[in-house]
């Protein structure tokens, strides 16, 4: 099977993440699917942002009319200070402009700061519809639900909002709809309601999912528990696939050693395996693949991408769509 290249928040290696320009460029560069993160506004609109805290990815700090919205909250056990989508309605958020989140590593992307507004999920779905109507090759969408337990606790259940957004659209599993989350309970609820999608459980490097912690406290089963043979068996009864940190697929890393041949083990249970995130900068590469000491310089990304693709993984999330497409082509001829 040819692994899919999934445009992680568009093409944030070149344009600010989750902007229309970022997604359009990813499509031009050959993405098989795009991956938006979704959070909610005060009035229940799903917006496309990496986190509900938007101080790092928009110009909200430059808006004096919103200065009093800056606050501190505890989200999934972490105390965070900033501006949060759930404290704004959409009419307010659409006045903001997006900016590059890691400008020190991606100055080229930061050159586009302030040129575009935030997107709603509805805006991205329309962008994809227009692309697919005009293209021979259909591009799918992988929707990541962020902080589901937190949003439910404040009266903004993201599963309800996403179901409402998708009902009546053309999107279904057969047209390339995937829904993913680090919390399996929200995936179970959507699946139980008959949402036609493929459901993928995201697995972190450490810790336990927020939904389990909310229910079980310190006794909550961990992400590591999910990757045991027994854990994979349980997941296979609920979801269609898993998506893991790339360290799990690099056998010389502690994560890789802890799970053995994870792709083969998951495939034996008919679970699809995705991995995240392929990035070429030294700051994100395994130390074996870095060139020099400059964090923003590209290292030996070809080698790392190739090693990951050679595991038999079904899909990779990438910030630079073109580089992942190039690496996939090389891996197929190797």
pLDDT per residue over 140-197, tens digit each? Answer: 999 999 999 999 999 999 999 999 999 989 999 999 999 999 999 999 999 999 999 9
pLDDT tens per residue, range 256-273: 999 999 999 999 999 999
Q: Residue 55: is its pLDDT beyond 80?
A: yes
Alpha-carbon distances, residue 149 vs 75, 115, 175, 228 (angstroms): 9, 33, 28, 25
- How far is 252 from 241, CA to CA, in rounded Å? 24
- How far is 279 from 317, CA to CA, in rounded Å? 9
- Kindly report the CATH number that applies to the domain delimited by 4-52+97-333: 3.20.20.190
pLDDT tens per residue, range 97-156: 999 999 999 999 999 999 999 999 999 999 999 999 999 889 999 999 999 999 999 999
334 pLDDT band (50/70/90 cuts)?
Answer: low
Contact at 8 Å (CB) between 221 and 212? yes
């Amino acid at each position: 099977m040819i692994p899919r290249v999934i445009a992680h928040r568009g093409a944030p290696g070149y344009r600010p993440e989750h902007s229309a320009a970022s997604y359009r460029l990813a499509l031009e560069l050959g993405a098989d699917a795009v991956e938006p993160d979704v959070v909610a506004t005060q009035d229940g609109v799903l917006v496309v942002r990496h986190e509900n805290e938007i101080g790092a990815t928009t110009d909200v700090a430059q808006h004096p009319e919103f200065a009093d919205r800056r606050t501190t909250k505890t989200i999934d056990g972490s105390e965070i200070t900033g501006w949060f989508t759930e404290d704004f309605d959409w009419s307010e958020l659409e006045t903001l402009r997006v900016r590059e989140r890691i400008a020190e590593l991606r100055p080229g992307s930061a050159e586009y700061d302030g040129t575009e507004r935030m997107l709603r999920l509805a805006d991205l779905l329309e962008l994809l519809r227009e692309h697919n109507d005009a293209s021979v090759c259909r591009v799918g969408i992988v929707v990541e639900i962020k902080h589901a337990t937190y949003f439910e606790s404040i009266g903004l259940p993201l599963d309800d909002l996403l179901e409402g957004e998708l009902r009546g659209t053309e999107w279904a599993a057969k047209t390339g709809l995937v829904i993913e989350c680090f919390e399996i309970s929200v995936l179970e609820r959507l699946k139980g309601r008959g949402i036609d999608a493929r459901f993928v459980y995201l697995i972190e490097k450490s810790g336990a999912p927020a939904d389990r912690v909310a229910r079980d406290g310190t006794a909550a089963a961990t992400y590591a528990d999910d990757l045991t043979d027994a854990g994979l068996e349980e997941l296979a009864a609920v979801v269609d696939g898993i998506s893991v940190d790339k360290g799990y697929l690099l056998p010389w890393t502690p994560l890789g050693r802890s799970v053995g041949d994870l792709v083969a083990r998951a495939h034996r249970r008919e679970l699809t395996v995705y991995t995240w995130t392929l990035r070429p900068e030294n700051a994100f590469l395994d130390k074996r693949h870095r060139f020099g000491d400059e964090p923003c310089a590209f290292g030996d990304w070809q080698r790392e991408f190739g090693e990951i693709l050679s595991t038999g993984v079904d899909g990779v999330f990438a910030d630079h769509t073109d580089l992942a497409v190039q690496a996939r082509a090389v891996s197929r001829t190797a």
